[in-house]
Amino acid sequence: MFATLSNSQDWEAAGHSLRTSWIEFTGRYGASGLVALALVFVVIALVRRHRYRAVNVLNQVDLKRLQGAIAEAEKKTVGEILPVIVERSDAHPQAAWIAGLFSFLFGSALLAAWLPWDQPVALLASQLAMGLVGYLLARVLPDFQRRFIGEARATEMATEQAFQEFYVHKLHETEAKTGVLLFVSLLEHRVIVLGDAGIDEKVDPNHWVETTDAILDGIRRGSLCEGLSEGVARAGEVLAEYFPWAEGDRNEIPDRIIVRKQ
């Protein structure tokens, strides 16, 4: 003969205990903790949002200053320097899906006590709603999206985009093969220096470390213009050492800075 225990009271009356302490704990603190954590991420992402907009990183005064820095650096070398700044090197659609999955799982764990486990449809709807919030945040807030982009992926996409920019802007067509690209990808937080064949034959890649470090330092201090100015100067020093200015040199690449969305 079998007896059916229809609810938790029957279960406890039969002498069993319910192990619900973790559920009670998450029910009491999980919701507020999740909301607080989400708000922190959202506020930080909103505050930093302007850092990922191409139109905000450099104003007209900055552009003129950088043009002057390029012209000054190229006075000592036959090399050509072109800075290119893009908002992103890739859309990274997988980041939004990862953010959605994270919100789905993390939210379900923290809000376990509040979820309608006895109502499958309502339960699934609640979990999908949490996942949707994470997905949408990653779609509209670049700083939030960045948290779900792997470092290797960021480097790979930025490097690929840098090579595309190098050829699109014809840095490979200079007479002495001395074109240099200073590439900055805002979303990926990557700075890449690419030199043409003539430069690669003579200049060790380690010589560009000071250039990239100078640009990154400026970004960390909140001044891309300062970083790029210093980076252009460092690049000019390297080029002047290996490819000094010569009579008859002409400006093959206009002294300009390209800033655009991707």
Residue type at position 135? Y
- 175-190 burial by CB neighbour count: b if 16+ within 10 A, else e? ebbbbbbbbbbbbbbb
Nearest to 86 by CA among 230, 258, 226: 258
Tens digits of residue pLDDT in 178-204:
999 999 999 999 999 999 999 999 998
Highest-confidence segment of 38-47, 78-87, 128-137, 212-221:
78-87
**How much is the average pLDDT of 110-120?**
68
User: pTM of this prediction?
Assistant: 0.80
Contacts of 231 (CB under 8 A, 6+ apart): 83, 182, 191, 211, 212, 214, 215, 218
Burial class (CB in 10 A: 0-12, 13-18, 19+), 57: buried
Q: What are the structural domains of the chain? A: 16-47+93-146 (no CATH), 53-90+150-260 (3.10.310.50)
Backbone angles phi, psi at 128, to 5 degrees: -65, -35
Tens digits of residue pLDDT in 203-260:
988 889 999 999 999 988 888 999 999 999 999 999 999 999 988 788 899 999 999 8
Nearest to 253 by CA among 71, 59, 66: 71
Backbone angles phi, psi at 48, to 5 degrees: -90, 0
Tens digits of residue pLDDT in 21-63:
555 555 556 556 666 777 787 787 777 777 788 777 899 999 9
Burial class (CB in 10 A: 0-12, 13-18, 19+), 43: exposed
